[in-house]
Amino acid sequence: MNKKRVAVLISGRGSNLKALIGACAAPDFPAEIALVFSNVESAEGLTVARDAGVPVVAFSHKSFASREAFDAAVDAELEKAGIELICLAGFMRIQSDSFVRKWEGRMINIHPSLLPAFKGIRVQQQALDAGVKISGCTVHFVVPELDSGPIIAQAAVPVLADDTAETLAARILVEEHRIYPAALRMLAERRIALRDGRAVLLT
């Protein structure tokens, strides 16, 4: 099987990275994690990657004069590794329009809310403050507008009366670990594509 070469971009603990690595370990999975990049050199997820034998690269965005310069350096690492698809997994950087456009249709993100509701950060607290009864997570194509790309997959979880942001986040995370590998499989198998600003299922 000719597996798609995937880069996972992280900034933190790498829980979704771990789920993706686990999925890619299956012989019939159509993608392999070929590189993990972090803008935080002490990110816990880098240890997850190293333990799994995945190559890692890490350097701080603070070392660069502009967002574009940082993204160009990241892009150079992706090209060097022969990357075909990108998964953002807790990557806490807004990327430049030029970077997003280059990888458009080949870069996806996981977000812990049912988009288009509750974009940005602290989304579980946003959900609790709004009093919603259902929350969840979304995998979407990345476009220049933050958390606004066409939706590939979603999963819903109930919001319980005694939930805190932490308990809600933990319940959502279980679903993230399920739908993110499934969405990557769809993309790698070319069963979904970004066409005219929409995620289109292909037959």
How is the beta sheet containing 151-158 ordered, strand by strand? 56-58, 31-38, 4-10, 85-88, 107-111, 134-141, 151-158
pLDDT of amino acid 141: 98
- DSSP string of 94-143, one letter each residue: PPPHHHHHHTTTSEEEEESS-TTSS-SS-HHHHHHHHT-SEEEEEEEE--
Domain boundary among 75, 103, 131: 103
| pLDDT per residue as tens digits for the range 131-142 | 999 999 999 999
Domain identity same for 130 and 184: yes
pLDDT tens per residue across span 22-31 = 999 999 999 9
**94 and 114 belong to one structural domain:** no
How much is the mean pLDDT over the chain?
A: 96
Q: Which of 77, 103, 129 is the last residue of a domain?
A: 103
Is 59 found in the same domain as 79? yes
Together in a domain, 97 and 127: no
Report whether pLDDT(48) > 80: yes
Please indicate, yes or no, whether residues 137 and 202 belong to a single structural domain of this protein.
yes
Position 1 scores a pLDDT of 75
Contact indicator for 147, 111 with CB cutoff of 8 Å: yes
Q: Based on the domain organization, do 98 and 115 belong to the same domain?
A: no
Q: Are 85 and 114 in the same domain?
A: no
The residues, any chain, with a CB within 8 Å of residue 161's CB and separated by 6 or more, are none
Please give the residue range of the domain that contains residue 142. Answer: 110-203
User: How many domains does the chain fold into?
Assistant: 2
Active centre residues (catalytic)? 111
Confidence of residue 72 (pLDDT cuts 50, 70, 90): very high
Which residue do the tokens 């990049």 mark?
A: 37
Q: Which of 58, 78, 103 is the last residue of a domain?
A: 103
Q: What is the CATH number of the domain that holds 64?
A: 3.40.50.170
pTM for this structure? 0.96
65 and 138 in a single domain? The answer is: no
Greatest C-alpha distance within the chain: 49
**Same structural domain, 24 and 85:** yes
